[in-house]
Structure 1
Amino acid sequence: MTPFPARTRIIALAMLALASLSVTGCVRIGTKPPERLLSIAAATSAPAGQTLSASRDSVLFVDLPTVPRAIATVRVAVRTGDTSFAYVKDALWVDVPARQFQGLLAETIRTRTGRLVLDPTQFLARRGQLLEGSLLEFGIDSGRRLAIVTYDASLLAPDGQSLTRQRFTASVPVTAIDSQTVAPAISEAANQVATAVADWLKERPAG
């Protein structure tokens, strides 16, 4: 008998083993994921079917906030000192804080002011007011046992010549710092900040 069939079988088995390892690797890359992902949610939302329209100058664009590196992650940040951070064990956000807060802020402004609110990245020709800012804090202060959200808001007029700026912050007590308790407290603080920003915008002329 020729040795080629046996060699062929060995090669085939080796290829099958490599394929199996490849599939297994795709499934098990990284650490074991948590049982659930965390998120924040707007306390109020616009009703389904509601139609809004506005002139170009009265549209409000809510930009993605900038964030420090400590919260530019899906991990839940915990301030442990003036210059140090840790992260909550087994707790991951469903999306990074900047995008979650942008969505909550836009929804809150829409429901509280009745304005047409858009994402500036979805429109190349943008006219209207632009709300941008920095999300400075979005996590837990372990020393004070507080969930803290702080947002520096900057409102740019449609003509680009006038800029108004104000800082908003809110804190909510937490009974424990774990994956069960941090998200609801941070969500509540984020809603308080978003509500304050929306009420502040009511005092600013839209066009």
Structure 2
Amino acid sequence: MIRQALILATALSLSACISFGADPPDSLLNLTATAQVAPGRTNTAASAQTVTVLVPTVPQTIATQRVPVSTVDGTVAYVKDAQWVEAPNRLFQRLLSETIEAQTGRTVLTPRQFDFDPGTRLSGELQRFGIDAATGDAVVTYDAVISVAQGSGENSVRTRRFEARVPVAPVEALPVGAALNQAANRVAAEVASWIDEQSRG
């Protein structure tokens, strides 16, 4: 019993000294699609009519689960206690996929399923996903690239920049998360409309 008491005392003293990183915030931020696919809905896609959404690339400023604030002097800070449940580019990919399928009715594949049907492939770079301190806006900027399979076996490549801004105050975790979610949904809806237009054209 004495030995067990010594082991317990040692463990308690070590736990008071060792830190495994900052404590996580009370809640984590997430993206929720405004347009959602109804449960039980099934799709049948004709050849080359699917859409594959790839994970966007990101600059180093948003290659993190924290929310960046671009300041007037060009430096970058981060919103206190604001943290995404996972990397924002992966959250945005899923938001795009859900919105495109719900809004256009087309079958959306994951990158691993792309070989099943080389239809339209959406890639791009998530340039901005944070707060603009100069304007007080939550900003989402996405440079989209679509590669559309043609009947001849060739691909047509088109690009377009999308951006949405939503005012946010105060610059705190919950208002920032809500504003970025709103801006991300606006961009996703515009991307879905663009893809639909390109496929019909």
TM range, smaller chain: 0.7 to 0.9
| Greater shift in the superposed pair: 192-201 or 28-37 | 28-37
* CA distance, structure 2, for counterparts of residue 55 and residue 20 of structure 1: 63
| Greater shift in the superposed pair: 56-65 or 116-125 | 116-125
User: Quick one: which amino acid aligns to residue 159 of structure 2?
Assistant: R
Quote how far apart the aligned CAs of 1:16 are. 5.0
User: Quick one: which amino acid aligns to residue 95 of structure 2?
Assistant: L
Flag the 1:61–1:21 CA change in 2: closer, same or farther, 3 A: farther
The SS at the match of 1:98 is: helix
* CA distance, structure 2, for counterparts of residue 83 and residue 90 of structure 1: 22
Flag the 1:117–1:206 CA change in 2: closer, same or farther, 3 A: farther
> Which residue of structure 2 aligns with residue 173 of structure 1?
167
Gaps of 5+ in 1: 1-8
Quote how far apart the aligned CAs of 1:81 are. 3.0
Find 1:87's aligned residue among 56, 78, 82.
78
| Greater shift in the superposed pair: 110-119 or 75-84 | 75-84
The SS at the match of 1:46 is: coil
User: Quick one: which amino acid aligns to residue 21 of structure 2?
Assistant: G
User: Quick one: which amino acid aligns to residue 93 of structure 1?
Assistant: W
Gaps of 5+ in 2: none
Quote how far apart the aligned CAs of 1:132 are. 0.4
Flag the 1:53–1:82 CA change in 2: closer, same or farther, 3 A: farther
| RMSD of aligned residue pairs (Cα, Å) | 2.5
The SS at the match of 1:187 is: helix
Find 1:187's aligned residue among 181, 188, 197.
181
Q: Assess if the C-alpha contact under 8 Å between 2:50 and 2:117 holds in 1.
A: no
* CA distance, structure 2, for counterparts of residue 49 and residue 74 of structure 1: 32
Of all paired residues, the percent bearing the same amino acid is: 42
Residue 34 (structure 1) aligned with residue 25 (structure 2): yes
Quote how far apart the aligned CAs of 1:161 are. 2.7
Q: Which stretches of structure 1, 4 residues or longer, exceed 4 Å deviation after superposition? A: 12-22, 122-126
Flag the 1:13–1:150 CA change in 2: closer, same or farther, 3 A: same
The residue correspondences of 1:1-207 to structure 2 (distance < 5 A) are 16=8, 24=15, 29-81=20-72, 83-123=74-114, 125=116, 127-158=118-149, 159-205=153-199
Q: Assess if the C-alpha contact under 8 Å between 2:119 and 2:148 holds in 1.
A: yes
Q: Assess if the C-alpha contact under 8 Å between 2:52 and 2:114 holds in 1.
A: no
Question: TM-score, normalised on structure 2?
Answer: 0.88
Question: TM-score, normalised on structure 1?
Answer: 0.85
Flag the 1:123–1:19 CA change in 2: closer, same or farther, 3 A: farther
Q: Assess if the C-alpha contact under 8 Å between 2:120 and 2:147 holds in 1.
A: yes
Quote how far apart the aligned CAs of 1:175 are. 2.0
Quote how far apart the aligned CAs of 1:102 are. 0.6
Q: Assess if the C-alpha contact under 8 Å between 1:120 and 1:126 holds in 2.
A: no
The SS at the match of 2:55 is: coil
